[in-house]
A and B are shown apart, each in its own frame.
Chain A
Amino acid sequence: MDATQLIHPLLALALAPLMAGIVNKTKSAFAGRNGPPVLQPYRDLWRLLHKGAVYSRTTSWILRAGPIVSLAAVVTALAMLPFGGTAAPLSFAGDLIVFAYLFGLVRFLMVAAALDTGSSFEGMGASREVTFSALAEPALLLALAALARMAGSPSLSGLLAGAVANPAVSIPVLLLAAAAVGIVLLAENARIPVDDPNTHLELTMIHEVMILDTSGPDLAFAGYAALLKQWAFAALLVGVLVPWRTGVLWADVALALAAMAAVAVGIGVVESTMARLRLVRVPQLLLAAVACAALAVVLVLR
Chain B
Amino acid sequence: MTVNADLLLRNGQAAPLGAVPDVGIDVFRNRVVAAVAGGMRLAALFGRPDADAPGAIRLVAVLASDSTSHLSLLRTCVERDYPALTPDCPQAHWFEREIAEQWDIRPKGHPWLKPVRFHEPYARGAGVFAHPGQGPLCGVTDFFRVEGEEIHEVAVGPVHAGVIEPGHFRFQCHGETVLHLEISLGYQHRGIERRLVGGPDARTLHLVETAAGDTTVGHATAYCQALESLAGVGVPARAQAIRGIALELERLTCHIGDLGALAGDIGFLPTASYCGRIRGDGLNMTAQLCGSRFGRGLLTPGGVRFDIDAARADDLLRRLDAVAADAASAINLLWNKPSVMARFEETGTLSAETVRQIGLVGPAARACGIGLDVRHDHPAGIFSFAHVPVATWHSGDVFARAYVRWLEVQRSVEFVRDQLRGLPDGPIAVAMPPLAPGRTVVTLVEGWRGEVCHVAATDDAGRLAHYKIIDPSLHNWFGLALALRGQQISDFPLCNKSFNLSYCGHDL
Contact = CB atoms under 8 A, between A and B. Distances in A.
Interface of A: 27, 30-33, 120-121, 123-124, 127-128, 192-193, 196, 198-204, 271-281
Given A120-B154, A123-B152, A203-B154, A278 B269 contact: no
A50 B339 CA distance: 40
Contacts of B155: 120
A201 B337 contact: no
B343 A275 contact: yes
10 contacts: A198-B267, A200-B161, A202-B156, A203-B493, A272-B269, A273-B270, A274-B268, A275-B263, A278-B342, A279-B176
Contacts of A120: 152-155
Given A274-B337, A281-B342, A201 B266 contact: no
A256 B352 CA distance: 58
A275 B337 contact: yes
Contacts of B208: none
Given A202-B161, A276-B267, A31 B273 contact: yes
B306 interface: no
A271 B491 CA distance: 19
Interface of A is mostly: helix
Contact of A279 (B154, B162, B277, B490): B490
Given A201-B265, A275-B263, A281-B342, A121 B270 contact: no
Contact of B342 (A31, A204, A277): A277
B444 interface: no
A277 B269 contact: no
B340 interface: yes
Contacts of A27: 269
B488 interface: yes
Contacts of A279: 176, 488, 490
A31 B339 contact: no
Nearest to A204: B490
B478 interface: no
A121 B176 contact: no
A84 B273 CA distance: 37
How many interface residues does chain B have, given as a range? 20 to 34
B192 to A, nearest CB: 30
Nearest to A273: B270
Contacts of B499: none
B489 A275 contact: no
B129 interface: no
A281 B263 CA distance: 18
B152 A278 contact: no
B274 interface: yes
B490 A203 contact: yes
Interface string B480-508: 00000000111111000000000000000
Given A31-B272, A276-B339, A280-B488, 20 more contacts: A31-B274, A120-B154, A121-B154, A124-B176, A124-B489, A128-B176, A196-B267, A201-B493, A203-B156, A203-B492, A271-B269, A274-B337, A274-B339, A275-B343, A277-B339, A278-B342, A278-B343, A278-B347, A278-B491, A280-B176
A225 to B, nearest CB: 22
Given A275-B267, A280-B176, A124 B154 contact: yes
Interface in B294-322: none
B335 to A, nearest CB: 12
Interface string B253-269: 00000000001011111
Nearest to B276: A31
A59 B155 CA distance: 19
A32 B154 contact: no
A279 B191 CA distance: 41
B274 A32 contact: yes
Nearest to B152: A120
B268 to A, nearest CB: 4
Nearest to A121: B154
A201 B161 contact: yes
A124 B490 CA distance: 10
A204 B155 CA distance: 14
Interface string B134-162: 00000000000000000011111000011
A278 B267 CA distance: 11
Nearest to A123: B152
Contacts of B266: 275-276
Contacts of B269: 27, 30-31, 271-272
A119 to B, nearest CB: 10
Contacts of A278: 342-343, 347, 488, 490-491
Nearest 7 Cβ contacts at the A-B interface: A31-B273, A275-B268, A276-B267, A196-B267, A200-B161, A201-B493, A275-B266
Nearest to A120: B154
Contacts of B347: 278
Contacts of A192: 267
A125 to B, nearest CB: 10
Most buried by A among B152, B265, B490: B490
A72 B342 CA distance: 39
A20 to B, nearest CB: 16
